[in-house]
Structure 1
Amino acid sequence: MGDISFSKEEKQQLVQLLQDYFSENLEQEVGRFEVEFLLDYMIKQLGPVFYNKGLLDARALLEKHLESYGDDLYGLEKSV
């Protein structure tokens, strides 16, 4: 897996969400630089955990559908 990265626009949106959280829930005004530093840390440390969980969920869904397709294929077999 490569590094987890976001476009400039996505990162700006995430920074704004964090700033809003600090302001609304912790009643602290945190500067853009500090929030970007925190976001970079979170992406590096927590990003792989969320990424792997997403892969696990996708794998489970795919396996469920493949099993269903397998059952459908067996249903198409002709008796000899």
Structure 2
Amino acid sequence: MRGKSKIKLSEETKREMSYKIKSYFLKERDEELGDLASSLILEFVIEELAPEFYNQGVYDSYKYMGEMVDDLLSIQKY
């Protein structure tokens, strides 16, 4: 996932996430962030960090499905 992120979020979701970022900074760091700052942080997370979480989810799903397929073989009748 180089360049532009392929992770797409609705504008409503982005607004909610941006609000959560602003709330976090206010609560944890006693810093007030504006809309631009919180949006830039969100875009950074989406572009640079989210792909790793996505890939981990794909890997975890792959591993889980492999285990389920192995388990499926246990119900064979001989």
In the superposition, the TM-score normalised over structure 1's length comes to 0.86
Q: Which runs of 4+ in 1 moved over 3 A?
A: none
Structure 2: runs of 5 or more not aligned: none
Q: What is the count of residue pairs matched by the alignment?
A: 75
Query: Aligned partners of 1:63, 1:13: CA distance in 2, in Å?
Result: 35
Alpha-carbon shift at residue 12 of structure 1 (Å):
0.9
Q: 2:60 aligns with which of 57, 60, 64?
A: 57
Residue 42 of structure 2 is aligned to residue 33 of structure 1: no
Percent identity of paired positions between Structure 1 and Structure 2: 24
Structure 1: which 5+ residue stretches go unaligned? none
Greater fraction helix: 1
Q: Larger relative CO (CA 8 A, sep 6+): 1 or 2?
A: 2
- Between structure 1 and structure 2, the one with the greater Rg is 1
TM-score between the two structures when normalised by the length of structure 2: 0.88
CA RMSD between the two structures? 1.3
Letter in 1 for 2:25: F
Partner SS, residue 72 of structure 1: coil
